[in-house]
Chain A
Amino acid sequence: MSRDQIFFIVFFVVFVAINIYLFGSGSLSADWTGFGIFIAAGITLSLYSFLYKDNPLFKFAENLYVGVAAAYTLTQVWYTVLLADVVIPFSELDSESMSNLWLIVPSLLGLFMLTQLSSAKFSWLSRIAFAFVVGLGAGLAIPRTIAANVLAQLEPSMRPITATWEGLDLLIILVGVVTVLVYFFYSVEHTGPVGVASKIGIWFLMISFGASFGYTIMARLSLLIGRVGFLLEDWLVLPLPYF
């Protein structure tokens, strides 16, 4: 037996022993909830076994999860859209709700979309559905992007600069926005004044990437804290002062 195999057998035995103790002492209730916490802890630890090295236990949990997640999404799509907005309106069609007949169009388009994975004979139908979705999305996006992300962002960059700290901040923001735009400018070489501006632009970018970097680290650690909280509090039932 290799070192890794011994390691995983020990891991497994310890996990089982802890759970026998937890169920035996009544910390975990002998019902579906208790069993659920036991499974959840097992999945959590299986995934963390990746830290030792990539292994079958990790892949087991990962792939099982992919299947469950796909089914969960499919379920939500069924109950809230396909059932509520398509099947029920069609099944309740009467003279008053004939306007619902319009729903035939998107339903057909939707079915066209599914032909993408069929034989080549029909798969061109999916192009019509994609053309509709992508074309409409593109059309709706243009004016709204200009309104929300261009015009609304320009106005606050044109405020009067006063001789105060706020004024200085506004000036720094203006310099930052302008130099970052210069950095992402491809029609002129980055030499001379343009080179200087793009260099300043890089500094601004780096400060903001640093901020994102710090925040991302923070986010991942928060997730870890959440999981450790689950293992310690819900599974091992340890007294955590503040959780």
Chain B
Amino acid sequence: MLFLRRTLPLIIAFVVGMIGILVFYIPHSGAQSLEQELATWDRIVAAFALVLGIYSLMRLHWSRVRRQQAAWGYSFLVFVGFVITTLFAIYNDGIGPFEPQVLNSGPFDWMYKYVQVPADATMFSILAFFIASAAYRTFRARTPEAAILLISAIIVMIGRVPIGASIYQGLPEIAQWMMDVPNLAAKRGILLGVSLGIVATSLRIIFGVERSYLGGGEE
């Protein structure tokens, strides 16, 4: 049982990981078909992973409703939204869930257009207000570094909108130069470092050093 629970997953991760690396260097059609097949499998498993994510979200809210935890009414609302939309999706404008999806008409599309779109689009626009408040109350040049940051932000903010050129012709060019040169340099440095980090993490996974993704302790 220990073999199935611990060793087998590590062997699978090692084998598919090594295949994933090696097929990159082998143009032979055998290797390429293997890569195609594994990618196809990965896509299908990824679909189940999404289902898992949604299932666990719903389970979390369901347990709050069942135990009548504080503010469980809101968790119930999540359910209401979920169930109504799912029923509309199954109805699929009258042709059922085994035919291609109907878009741009029907109640499912209505839910998307008039509930999901405005809610999602509004959510992050709220931040515009908080940014303004933070700009006044907390974006401080506490250190020389923070001062550089704020000055660079101000130049970009003016230089990137049409009014910048009206204030001073050179502003858009200065902003563009900042993006093209110092910004690029720092972002490339970060990118190189992060890439090495990705290689390191991937290696740890393939060689079974990193097991946290398996979750649930080490039994």
Find chain B residues with CB under 8 A from A173 CB: 181, 184-185, 188
Give the CA-CA distance A146 to B38 in the complex, in Å. 21
Known contacts: A60-B77, A64-B78, A75-B108. The answer to whether A207 contacts B186 by CB under 8 A is yes
A199 closest partner in B (C-beta): B145
A20 interfacial contact with B, CB 8 Å: no
Q: B56 near A117 (CB under 8 angstroms)?
A: yes
Give the CA-CA distance A115 to B14 in the complex, in Å. 22
CB-contacts of A150-182 with B (<8 A) = 150, 153, 157, 169, 172-181
A173 closest partner in B (C-beta): B185
Q: A143 near B24 (CB under 8 angstroms)?
A: yes
Known contacts: A64-B119, A123-B216, A127-B214. The answer to whether A220 contacts B5 by CB under 8 A is no
Give the CA-CA distance A122 to B215 in the complex, in Å. 14
Give the CA-CA distance A72 to B110 in the complex, in Å. 12
Known contacts: A75-B89, A85-B44, A220-B124. The answer to whether A61 contacts B119 by CB under 8 A is yes
Q: A67 near B78 (CB under 8 angstroms)?
A: yes
B168 interfacial contact with A, CB 8 Å: no
Q: How far is the CB of A212 from chain B (nearest CB, A)?
A: 8
A136 interfacial contact with B, CB 8 Å: yes
Known contacts: A64-B77, A139-B206. The answer to whether A113 contacts B48 by CB under 8 A is yes
Interface of B is mostly: helix
CB-contacts of B145-162 with A (<8 A) = 145-146, 148-157, 160-161
Q: B195: which of A44, A72, A150, A203 is its contact (CB, 8 Å)?
A: A150
A149 closest partner in B (C-beta): B195
Q: B45 near A132 (CB under 8 angstroms)?
A: yes
CB-contacts of A48-76 with B (<8 A) = 48, 50-51, 59-75
Stretch at the interface among A9-17, A102-110, A188-196: A102-110
Give the CA-CA distance A36 to B116 in the complex, in Å. 11
Known contacts: A184-B189, A210-B156. The answer to whether A143 contacts B100 by CB under 8 A is no
Give the CA-CA distance A131 to B178 in the complex, in Å. 43
Q: A204 near B182 (CB under 8 angstroms)?
A: yes
Find chain B residues with CB under 8 A from A127 CB: 5, 9, 214-215
A101 interfacial contact with B, CB 8 Å: no
Give the CA-CA distance A151 to B51 in the complex, in Å. 37
Interface of A is mostly: helix
- Chain A 102-141, CB within 8 Å of chain B: the 1/0 string? 1101110111011011000001100111111111111111
Give the CA-CA distance A39 to B85 in the complex, in Å. 15
Known contacts: A67-B77, A113-B52, A116-B52. The answer to whether A153 contacts B192 by CB under 8 A is yes
Q: A47 near B123 (CB under 8 angstroms)?
A: yes
Q: How far is the CB of A187 from chain B (nearest CB, A)?
A: 14
Residues of chain A having any CB pair with chain B under 8 Å: 32, 36-37, 39-41, 43-44, 47-48, 50-51, 59-75, 77-83, 85-87, 102-103, 105-107, 109-111, 113-114, 116-117, 123-124, 127-146, 149-150, 153, 157, 169, 172-181, 183-184, 201-211, 213-215, 217-218, 220-221, 223-224, 226-227, 230
Known: A40-B117, A72-B85, A113-B48. 5 other contacts (CB 8 A): A36-B113, A44-B118, A134-B205, A176-B184, A204-B189
17 A–B pairs (Cβ distance < 8 Å), ordered by A: A36-B113, A40-B114, A40-B115, A67-B78, A69-B116, A71-B83, A74-B86, A131-B8, A133-B49, A134-B13, A169-B177, A176-B184, A177-B185, A184-B190, A203-B148, A208-B182, A220-B127
